[in-house]
Amino acid sequence: MNYKLIANIAKSLLFARLKQTMVAAIGVTFSITMFITLLSFMSGLNDLLDGLILNRAPHVRLFNEIKPSANQPVNFSSEFKNHYNFIHSIKTSNSREQIYNSGTILQAVKNDNRVLGIAPKITSQVFFNDGANDITGLINGIDVLAESELFFFTDYIVSGKAIDIKNVSNSIILGKGLAENLLANVGDVIQITTSKGEIFPLKVVGFFQSGLQEFDKMQSFASIGTTQKIAGKAKNHITEIQIKLKNIEQAPAIAKEFAQLFQTDAEDIQTASSQFETGSKVRTIISYAVGITLLVVAGFGIYNILNMMIYEKMDSIAILKATGFSGRDVNLIFLVIALSIGFFGGLGGLFFGYLLSSVIDQIPFNTAALPTITTYPINYNPAFYFIGSFFSLITTYLAGLFPARKASKIDPVVIIRGK
Amino acid sequence: MEEIIIEAKNISKSFHDPVTISVLKDINFSITKGEFVSIIGKSGCGKSTLLYILSTMDTDYEGELLIGKESMKNKKEADLARIRNEKIGFVFQFHYLLNEFSVLKNVMLPGLKLNKFSEQEVEHKAMERLKTLNIQHLQAKMANQLSGGEKQRVAIARALINDPHIIMGDEPTGNLDKKNSEIVFDIFKQLSEEFNQTLLIVTHDQSFSEKTNRIIEMEDGKIIRQ
């Protein structure tokens, strides 16, 4: 088989109808361009939205939920074992929000080699005093170094310095919305009332903006020590342990394991933010569907053009066959034509797709909700480029398959005698 | 004993659609090397049909066809294509050059397909054929820039590229004026006399056939004189 000759003939046929060839190739280029751009943009956006939640969310969260015991005393009684027991208005008793034995647990989790890092946390409800009004809010006591390293805390600080809550005693970082309500600036001293009724002055050292407005109107951050002081608790009072794992996929299993081991409640990220994953998945499916539809349309374009070309080149096909080219050769010639349209069109598509996504990447995108973002997000994942080129070849191959078969079946006698 | 190039044994063919019509009935003849044969007959007598069976392009027939003692029955399409490429040269009524290629490339194509010689050798051979036919000045032109007579001469050069056992022509002068017809005939004559080339030409041009070595006359699907 003389492949060089086949390629040569295919090339001549392609160049003989340059305009048609270009139209077909541009169809492929356009669809691949849009495919790449759409997927890069969509997945950039997905990553951004996921990042909003997932970057800051711990993979496994250990905490103690205040809830009534599932096993009420009546259930232990042998006397009423065969009865249906209805108990109304159960109240919780003797349960503390604090994690028991927090020091030991922290040590044990830290030594687990599946764990990337941990950040203890304590939350306390307070009132922010704003003249005659009190604004309800939450103070999160955090280990600012661990929090910055694991959950990108510093990314969300819009003014001031995160480390100051550790370095300045009795200091606080306010949510942007909360600060606006309190008319507080960095350096001001604000007053809070604890749930126990004590009044406590705190120095504002920075503002925090997460992108979720409701969140920013409620939250503030202080060091663990400061928060323990506000809440009037001891040094070992920790209400939450946030764990970041090396492999996020292990979260559900590890959450279950830790819950049993440490006798606490544990929540994994997959359960906590399942709605985000669903959203991302649906958006990805839609982008793929649109991209592939574009390609299929381009495929039909190629099919039409090849079909037309075969009718036009009937004589040439007949003469090729009469002078010794077999049906297989003719089939190959037209497949090569289809595949080269797909290959070069697809190559152009990859190039323009990259170009267009870089252009989108430069468009300013400033929103108060997303302080760290200045331009539209683009994900330059090489996988999209692989999928794009793979699909461009597959669709053009399929589009060329039937016309090429038809060409190979042409009976030269009918054409030559039919004149 | 002279070398037999092509032999037809009891070849018959009928069309079945819509009713069975017999177009060829029990054709028997053979052509030996160096013969210049013409097949004549009225329109519809089956002479072109016979030629396409002999050319291996039409495989729907009964009887046996031997090319160089090799039976063409039960051969695969790809094998028949190779035999056409190697052993048979074609000249048609309507020239049939590939318009996408230059004259030289048109002549070279069957040679390249044969893949026996390098591209340089095929090109050299193609130039020789063009020189023999006195059209070497046309080599760089595109096929669609030629006149009818020129195209037919290029087609003959292409038929010659692989040194075929036989050249078959289906009314090769049918679409040409008198002057060009004469040029084409003279080329055939020259090939026959100088190169001992075997030729089989279907024609209804009386003056053409009279000048050939041997005439096979057909009527109603039968050979009536040979």
| Residue A172's pLDDT band (cuts 50, 70, 90) | very high
**Domain ranges for chain A:** 3-54+276-418, 60-67+95-272
**B4-225 belongs to CATH 1.20.1250.20:** no
Q: Which of A165-179, A223-237, B57-71 has the lowest mean pLDDT?
A: B57-71
Contacts of B86 in chain A (CB under 8 A): 324
In chain B, positions 164-223, which contact chain A (CB-CB < 8 Å)? Answer: 170
CB B98 to CB A316 under 8 A?
Answer: yes
> pLDDT tens digits, residue range A267-285?
888 887 777 778 778 888 8
Over residues A340-375, the pLDDT tens digits come to: 888 888 899 999 999 999 999 888 887 766 667 788
What pLDDT, on a 0 to 100 scale, did the predictor assign at position A245? 86
Interatomic CA distance for residues A266 and A24, integer angstroms: 57
Query: Which residues in chain B touch residue A16, judged by CB atoms under 8 angstroms apart?
Result: 99-100
The residues, ordered by sequence, that sit 6+ positions from A26 with a Cβ below 8 Å of its Cβ are: A345, A348
Please give the radius of gyration of chain A, using alpha carbons only, rounded to the nearest integer. Answer: 33
φ and ψ at residue B197, rounded to 5 degrees? -80, 135
Question: In this complex, is the C-beta atom of A312 within 8 Å of any C-beta atom belonging to chain B?
Answer: no
CB-CB neighbors (< 8 A) of B84 in chain A: 322-324
Read off the pLDDT of residues B87-109 as tens digits, 9 standing for 90 and up.
Answer: 888 888 776 788 788 888 888 88
CA distance A392 to chain B (A): 27
Residue B56: exposure state from Cβ atoms within 10 A (0-12, 13-18, ≥19): buried
Chain B residues touching A320 at Cβ < 8 A: 98, 109
Q: Do B98 and A328 touch (CB under 8 A)?
A: no
Mean predicted confidence (pLDDT) in A73-93: 81
d(CA B60, CA A224): 95
pLDDT in tens, A14-35: 887 788 888 888 888 888 898 8
Is the Cβ–Cβ distance between A314 and A408 less than 8 Å? no
Interface test with A, best of B96, B115, B154 (most A CBs within 10 A): B96
Contacts of A323 in chain B (CB under 8 A): 84-85, 90, 109-110, 113, 158
Is A325's CB within 8 Å of B86's CB? no
Beta-carbon contacts of A307 under 8 Å, excluding residues fewer than 6 positions away, are A403, A406
- Quick one: A273 exposed, middle or buried, by C-beta within 10 A (0-12, 13-18, 19+)? middle
A283: exposed, middle or buried (C-beta count within 10 Å: 0-12, 13-18, 19+)? middle
For A215-229, how does the pLDDT look when each residue is reduced to its tens digit (9 = 90+)?
Answer: 888 889 999 888 888
pLDDT for the residue numbered B32: 83
pLDDT, tens digit (0-9, with 9 covering 90-100), for A232-254: 888 888 888 888 888 888 888 88
**Cα atoms in the Cβ-side hemisphere of radius 13 Å centred on B167:** 27
Q: What is the mean pLDDT of chain B?
A: 80
- Residue-wise pLDDT for B5-29, tens only, equals 788 888 888 887 778 887 888 888 8
CB A103 within 8 A of CB A262: no
pLDDT of residue A94: 61
The contacts of residue B197 (CB under 8 Å, 6+ apart) are B34, B160, B167, B191
ipTM of the complex: 0.83
Q: Enter the pTM of the model.
A: 0.71
d(CA A50, CA A247): 17
pLDDT, chain A, mean:
84
Give pLDDT tens digits for A294-337. 778 877 877 887 788 778 888 888 888 888 888 888 888 888 88
Report the C-alpha gap between A130 and A190 in whole angstroms: 8
| pLDDT score for A369 | 61
Map out the domains of chain B as residue ranges.
Answer: 4-225
